């Protein structure tokens, strides 16, 4: 039995913001992460604020300027199978199709996928770790084979669990957010918070702030996007190492590149070192060899997860080779 | 399906009696098809506004297997809990209770989901289909028969969830490839390791549904 909570399902975004601003309130989109967190007792929630009556948060449609707007409540399956997504942003469709299991994709939402709580077993277990307001990160000196190799600063070594966030960040997606101070826009690449800035939260969203839609810019005519996820088994698992690419190509030459990694860091991790290596160059063997080295530049692996560096090298090699091949 | 089912000699394409099924199907099966049609007509069913206090029960109505069921629920009760404990529909199994095994799989608006990760109040206004809903009177449905014929289980505990996953898959994709079947049931664990038989049962079920 879950701990008890009051429940409210408002019909307007304004009422939702008001309810969600209260102390102890938590938003319910698909509920796949929230229900687990409540059952495991890692969140103290007095009030569950359901988004499911908000008609404006559904649907996937093209925008006037040839971009795409996806409702925060679009399910991961809807994103993975939507013809517009598959056609314009294949990397996003790939990322969505790699999430969890079919049932969780049918229930989980794109907005919720961006706002997941970490999957560190100490955080999810009965450890009062740093991220829960305690004194230490247990994974740092403990079991950390699935944990971060970048961006943890040896403070908290979680990896961000989302497969869609790195692709959305690579594609330059922006979030429409409603809140107590009105509406605002946040780029997906600025949504997540590294431990050095604040170890107690995963996103910059404040109390009462609600993602309503995810907007994707018009894809450049020469845009190619992809997402590749390596994991221990083909279902349920989170990424051990993943690479999201959004490349603007001129033949096999890269004009512009955005590269984000999953399974790498406490936030979707931008690999500027790979971007810098491949920009303006043909994706030939020499470039790809340099990208292999670049992807692990400045990595800070822990004793139990150095294997991830080899995974990242292999994934970037395979993904760039595929991108460089003529269609 | 427990050992009593496997001991029944009269199993097979003709189907067999599932004890206790009748007691579930008692209420409201007639009015159901009308309600179902009304819900299906809406493109995106948005549930009504709702407020519930903690620990107080509130009356909601759930549309299960073609019938409306009124029930008093707490906000924290999951759909799995209400199906089993309030409605006595024990075909849906509780396994891990954390969305990692698939034993509690039901269809919501025809799509497989985990009942353990779904609040009952969030299922208001949706069409819920459980294992019991795949039967026609005393007759098993095609997916259930396929699992029997292909011996697609050992202990049987995961079987209801596997059957619902396959039912959901075939409603969306009536002629799945082996790979599509593997993905379709990839949210359902079988600790006995009956996967090869389960895949075969899914293929057989696709054939049976076409007849």
Q: Which 3-state string (H, E, C) describes chain B?
A: CCHHHHCCCCCCCCCCCCCCHHHHCCCCHHHHHHHHHHHHHCCCCCCCCEEECCCCCEEEEEEECCEEEEEEECCCCEHHHHHHHHCCCCCCCCCCCCCCCCCCEEEECCEEEEHHHCEHHHHCCCEEECHHHHCECCECCHHHHHHHHCCCCCCCCCHHHHHHHHHHHHHHCCCCCHHHHHHHCCCCCCCCCCHHHHHHHHHHHHHHHHC
pLDDT at B43 over 80: no
**Of A39, A46, A234, which is closest to B186 when you measure between CB atoms?**
A234
Q: Are residues B43 and B128 in the same domain?
A: yes
Is the residue at B180 inside a domain? yes
Out of B80, B113, B132, a domain closes at B132
- Domain contains B2: no
Confidence at residue B148, expressed as pLDDT on a 0 to 100 scale: 98
Mutation test of the interface with chain B: which of A7, A8, A48, A112, choosing the one with the most B Cβ atoms within 10 A? A7
B80 and B106 in a single domain? The answer is yes
Q: Are residues B39 and B92 in the same domain?
A: yes
Which residues make Cβ contacts (< 8 Å) with residue A286, sequence separation at least 6? none
Whether residue B15 is contained in a domain is answered as no
CA dist A217 and A212 (Å) reads: 16
The pLDDT value given to residue A190? 98
DSSP symbols for A31-58 = -TTHHHHHHTT-S--SEEEE-TT-GGG-
The C-alpha of A5 sits at a distance from chain B's nearest C-alpha, in angstroms, of: 5
CATH number at residue B187: 1.10.150.120
Contact (CB<8Å) A4/B55: yes
Average of per-residue pLDDT across B104-127: 97
CATH number at residue B37: 3.10.20.30
Give me the number of domains chain B comprises: 2
Does one domain contain both B127 and B27?
Answer: yes
What integer pLDDT is reported at residue B2 of this predicted model? 35
B54 vs A28: CB contact, 8 Å cut-off? no
In this structure, the answer to whether residues B124 and B141 fall within a common structural domain is no
pLDDT value of position B45: 63
Predicted-complex ipTM score: 0.96
Question: How distant is the Cα of A106 from the closest Cα of chain B, in angstroms?
Answer: 6
Q: Does B203 touch chain A (CB under 8 A)?
A: no
Cβ pair A55:B46 closer than 8 A: yes
pLDDT beyond 90 at B15: no
The predicted structure's pLDDT at residue B19: 36
**Are residues B93 and B178 part of one domain?**
no
For B87, residues 6+ apart whose C-beta sits below 8 A from its C-beta are: B24, B64, B69, B71
Domain co-membership, B159 together with B202: yes
B141 and B97 belong to one structural domain: no
Look up the domain containing B172 and give its range: 136-210
Q: Report chain B residues whose CB lies below 8 A from the CB of A10.
A: 49
**Do A106 and B118 contact (CB within 8 A), yes or no?**
no
DSSP letter assigned to residue A192: B
Per-residue model confidence as pLDDT tens for chain A (327 residues)? 999 999 999 999 999 999 999 999 999 999 999 999 999 999 999 999 999 999 999 999 999 999 999 999 999 999 999 999 999 999 999 999 999 999 999 999 999 999 999 999 999 999 999 999 999 999 999 999 999 999 999 999 999 999 999 999 999 999 999 999 999 999 999 999 999 999 999 999 999 999 999 999 999 999 999 999 999 988 999 999 999 999 999 988 999 999 999 999 999 999 999 999 999 999 999 999 999 999 999 999 999 999 999 999 999 999 999 998 876
**pLDDT tens string B92-101:** 999 999 999 9
Tell me, yes or no, if A121 comes closer than 8 A to chain B by beta carbon.
no
- pLDDT, mean over chain B: 84
Instruction: Name the helix (H) or strand (E) containing A137.
Output: none
Domains, chain A, in order of start with CATH, read: 56-115+159-216 (3.30.465.10), 223-324 (3.30.390.50)
* Chain B interface mutation, best of A44, A56, A75, A102, highest count of B Cβ atoms under 10 Å: A102
Chosen domain end from B84, B102, B132: B132
Are B123 and B143 members of one domain? no
The reply to whether B152 and B125 lie within a common domain is: no
Tell whether B36 and B100 lie within a shared domain. Answer: yes
- Which pLDDT score, from 0 to 100, does residue A127 have? 96
Instruction: Classify the phi-psi angles of A276: left when phi > 0, otherwise alpha if psi is within -120 to 50, otherwise beta.
Output: alpha
Distance CA A144, CA A112 (A): 25
Domain assignment present for residue B10? The answer is no
pLDDT of residue B11 exceeding 70: no
**Secondary structure class of A108 (helix, strand, coil):** coil
Angle at A80 between CA A75 and CA A84, to 5 degrees: 105
CA quadruple A120, A125, A127, A129: dihedral sign: positive
**B16 is a domain residue:** no
Q: Are A319 and A169 contacting, i.e. CB atoms less than 8 angstroms apart?
A: no
B104 and B141 inside one domain: no
Last residue of a domain, one of B100, B117, B132: B132
Alpha-carbon distances of A161 from A104, A172, A268, B182, rounded to whole Å: 14, 19, 9, 24
Q: Are A276 and A261 in contact (CB under 8 A)?
A: no
Residue of A140 and B35 predicted with greater confidence: A140
Asked if residue B178 has pLDDT above 50, the reply is yes
- Nearest Cβ partner for B52 among A6, A28, A32: A6
The pLDDT of residue B111 is above 70: yes
């Amino acid at each position: 039995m879950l701990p008890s909570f009051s429940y409210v399902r408002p019909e307007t975004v304004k009422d939702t913001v008001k309810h969600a601003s209260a102390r102890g309130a938590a938003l319910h989109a698909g509920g796949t992460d929230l229900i687990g967190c409540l059952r495991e007792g890692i969140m103290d929630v007095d009030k569950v604020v359901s988004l499911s009556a908000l008609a404006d948060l559904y649907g996937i449609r093209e925008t006037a300027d040839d971009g795409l707007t996806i409702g925060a409540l679009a399910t991961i399956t809807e994103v993975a199978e939507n013809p517009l997504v598959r056609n314009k942003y294949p990397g996003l469709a790939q990322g969505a199709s790699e999430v969890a299991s079919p049932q969780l994709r049918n229930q989980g939402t794109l907005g919720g996928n961006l706002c997941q709580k970490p999957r560190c077993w100490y955080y999810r277990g009965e450890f009062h770790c740093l991220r829960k307001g305690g004194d230490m990160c247990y994974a740092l000196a403990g079991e950390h084979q699935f944990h971060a190799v970048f961006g943890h600063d040896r403070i908290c070594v979680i990896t961000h669990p989302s497969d869609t966030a790195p692709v959305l960040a690579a594609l330059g997606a922006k979030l429409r957010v409603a809140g107590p101070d009105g509406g605002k826009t946040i780029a997906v690449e600025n949504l997540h918070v590294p431990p050095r800035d604040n170890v107690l939260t995963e996103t910059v969203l404040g109390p009462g702030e609600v993602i309503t839609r995810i907007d994707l810019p018009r894809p450049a005519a020469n845009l190619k996007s992809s997402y590749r996820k390596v994991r221990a088994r083909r279902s349920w698992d989170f990424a051990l190492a993943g690479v999201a690419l959004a490349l603007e190509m001129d033949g096999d030459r890269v004009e512009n590149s955005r590269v984000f990694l999953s399974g790498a860091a406490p936030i979707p991790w931008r690999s500027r070192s790979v971007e810098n290596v491949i920009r303006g160059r043909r994706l030939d063997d020499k470039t790809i060899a340099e990208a292999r080295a670049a992807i692990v530049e400045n990595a800070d692996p822990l004793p139990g997860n150095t294997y991830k560096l080899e995974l990242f090298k292999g994934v970037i090699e395979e993904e760039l080779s595929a991108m460089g091949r003529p269609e | 399906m427990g050992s009593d089912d496997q001991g029944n000699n009269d199993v097979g394409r003709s189907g067999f009696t599932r004890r206790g099924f009748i007691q579930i199907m008692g209420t409201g099966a007639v009015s159901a098809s009308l309600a179902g049609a009304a819900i299906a007509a809406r493109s995106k069913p948005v549930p009504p506004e709702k407020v519930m206090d903690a620990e107080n029960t509130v009356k909601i109505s759930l549309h299960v297997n073609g019938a409306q069921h009124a029930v008093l629920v707490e906000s924290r009760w999951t759909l799995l809990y209400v199906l089993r404990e309030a409605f006595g529909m024990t075909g849906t199994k509780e396994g891990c209770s954390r969305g990692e095994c698939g034993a509690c799989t039901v269809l919501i608006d025809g799509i497989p989901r985990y009942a353990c990760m779904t609040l009952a109040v969030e299922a208001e206004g949706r069409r819920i289909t459980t294992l019991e809903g795949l039967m026609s009177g005393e007759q098993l449905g095609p997916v259930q028969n396929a699992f029997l014929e292909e011996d697609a289980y050992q202990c049987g505990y995961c079987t209801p969830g596997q059957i619902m996953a396959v039912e959901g898959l075939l409603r969306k994709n009536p002629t799945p490839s082996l790979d599509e079947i593997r993905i379709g049931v990839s949210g359902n664990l079988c600790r006995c390791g009956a996967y090869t038989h389960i895949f075969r049962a899914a293929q057989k079920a696709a054939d049976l549904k076409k007849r």
